Amino acid sequence: MSMTGRISNKIAFVTGGASGIGEGIVKMLLAEGAKVAFTDIQVDAGNKLAQSLGSDALFIEQDVRLDPDWKRAIELTSATFGPINILVQSAGISYPGNIEQVSLDDWRDHMAVNGEGVLLGCQHAIAVMKNNGGGSIINISSIESIRPGAPFIAYAASKSAVDAITKMTALHCAEHSYGIRCNSIHPAAINTPIFHEYVQKAADPEKQMAIYAGMQPLNRVGTIDEVAYTVLFLASDESSFFTGHQMYVDGGALTKPYPAGQGV
């Protein structure tokens, strides 16, 4: 990962940044010149990562479901680095359950973290960005919101909420000339800790990995950097005519149907 300064002098705020895709995004934005505040409920992992990244990185404990946590984290970021002009919402949960299996508690957990968390993030980002020259909001969704897999009903529905929030945020900000763009990114199977949990829980992990790889015409799972580079593009001024857009980081997965009973 070489620094080219594509987002120099920008201030980024990344949720779910202590591990997985979020961690990769934090490192990418830092490498390309931004100062980055990142949040998570994984406090030990977040503090350890921040210590390894230097003074341009700030870790803040945050539960994205809680409005006071958003207010506190955004204010601390502004006091440390200045007002944000990039928001990346990577925090999320995912666990399986089809329509017959899913509990109401599981449904509500997904909606609270993946749905309400993104809603609150957009609200707080707009409040800062509209008075400071605009910015870019990037919401991490999933190809499950476009073509749901039956075993993941709560996850897919919550990511569909992310898509709706993204498009309506984009439209609202454009209509009010705020200079704020809002886009979503839709990964397929990506090599993350959560992905490995699914694979290892399978009766035959090697076979399950082959199934996941085969869902993409490129016949492999994606990498964290491949998602992070897409975030970088949307965070930069290179994407100045992109808003309300869905970007698929899916190895071509959406060009063909899922195998029966599968999903990402």
Mean pLDDT of 174-178: 98
Q: What residues are annotated to the active site?
A: 155
Instruction: Name residue 27's amino acid.
Output: K
Asked if residue 229 has pLDDT above 60, the reply is yes
Interatomic CA distance for residues 203 and 263, integer angstroms:
16
How large is the angle between the packed helices 20-31 and 43-53, nearest 10 degrees? 20
Instruction: Spell out the alpha helix ranges (H) of the chain.
Output: 20-31, 43-53, 67-80, 104-110, 117-129, 153-175, 193-201, 205-214, 224-235
pLDDT of residue 264: 54
- Domains belonging to the chain, first-starting first, are 11-255 (3.40.50.720)
Mean pLDDT of 221-249: 98
pLDDT digits (tens, 9 = 90+) for 74-106: 999 999 999 999 999 999 999 889 999 999 999
For residues 37 and 261, the model is more confident at 37
Interatomic CA distance for residues 88 and 40, integer angstroms:
13
- Would you state the torsion angle of the CA atoms of residues 185, 37, 114, 166, taken in this order, to the nearest 10 degrees? -50
Of 52-56, 180-184, 193-197, 212-216, the poorest mean pLDDT is in 193-197
Instruction: Name residue 199's amino acid.
Output: V
pTM of the predicted protein model: 0.94
Find the distance separating the first CA and the last CA of the chain, reported in whole Å: 27
Asked if residue 177 has pLDDT above 50, the reply is yes
What is the DSSP annotation of 158-208? HHHHHHHHHHHHHHHHHHTT--EEEEEEEE-SB-SHHHHHHHHHSSSHHHH
pLDDT of residue 95: 87
Mean pLDDT of 134-141: 98
Q: Residue 210 burial by CB count (10 A; 0-12/13-18/19+): exposed, middle or buried? A: exposed
Asked if residue 259 has pLDDT above 70, the reply is no
pLDDT digits (tens, 9 = 90+) for 9-48: 999 999 999 999 999 999 999 999 999 999 999 999 999 9
Q: Which two tokens stand for residue 129?
A: 């960005």
Indicate the average pLDDT of the chain: 94
- CB distance 127 to 227 below 8 Å: no
- CB distance 57 to 17 below 8 Å: no
For residues 198 and 253, the model is more confident at 253
